[in-house]
Amino acid sequence: MSDAEHQQKAASSEVPHHVAIIMDGNGRWASARGMPRVEGHRRGVEAVRRTIRAAGEIGIKIITIFSFSAENWSRPASEVGELMGLLRRFIRNDLASLHESGVRVRIIGEREGLEPDIARLLTEAEELTRNNTNLTLVVAFNYGARQEIVRAAKRAAQLVAEGKIKPEDITPESFAGFLDAPDLPDPDLIIRTSGEQRLSNFLLWQSAYSELVFVPTYWPDFDRAALEAAIDSFRQRERRFGGLAARTAS
């Protein structure tokens, strides 16, 4: 087998290490079927379960899901209440099985101001699964990328004010250490469902060199086949990270 064939075979088998997903289209899925929006969100939870299971089977090591944005609080109170109820039920019903499957749960986003029981459930999920290593599930909850960057800037500024670091010590590499999950690698692939083609304030810092795949499928219909199709698209990309030579997923 020639060198070119070896490289082609390696590329075809490459699985992104970290996949992030903007789960969009629950409401439109429901509306298209004459159902209330909350039914779309309920079916969306089923898609989350399918995707986590498929990610583990495919060999993805980190999957980040955009579950609730900082801007979502502006939705009608009844819908926000339903979403909080779904989160509560998901953690209470699914946490044990995630733990048994070796999934580690991480939460990114602003925790201050959350309802006490929600905050406790998020902490419980992280603490129970802390030592699991099969798959890391990062849940972006009450999350906005601009807000995350501002939090990071405040942390850096506080250290400067305390004299612990100098302004010139702040570099792109060191600044990343102030983000919500500084130990995690940037996503190799970001998928957005529903056909919309924007990041919507999701992982703006971390997505600098991520590959983006936009799929027309509404989130409740997303399944393993759709995930594999997005990964196939990822495999066709040449990732140069600003340089000339292509690099593989981290």
Do residues 213 and 191 make contact, with C-beta atoms less than 8 angstroms apart? Answer: yes
Q: Is 183 a catalytic residue?
A: no
On whether the CB atoms of residues 175 and 152 are closer than 8 A, the answer is: yes
Catalytic annotation, pick one of 26, 72, 94, 221: 72
Q: What is the C-alpha to C-alpha distance for residues 34 and 104, in angstroms, rounded to an integer?
A: 37
Q: List the beta strands (DSSP E) in the chain.
A: 18-22, 62-69, 103-108, 135-143, 189-192, 211-214
Residue 83, class by beta-carbon neighbours within 10 Å (0-12 exposed, 13-18 middle, 19+ buried)? buried
Which tokens is 210 given? 């991520």
134 a catalytic residue: no
Bridge partners, 141 (sequence order): 68
Q: What span, in angstroms and rounded, lies between the C-alpha atoms of 188 and 64?
A: 11
- From 3, 24, 26, 117, the catalytic residue: 24
The closest of 181, 154, 147 to 170, measured between CA atoms, is 154
Rounded to whole angstroms, the Cα distance separating 43 from 31 reads 13
Catalytic residues: 24, 72
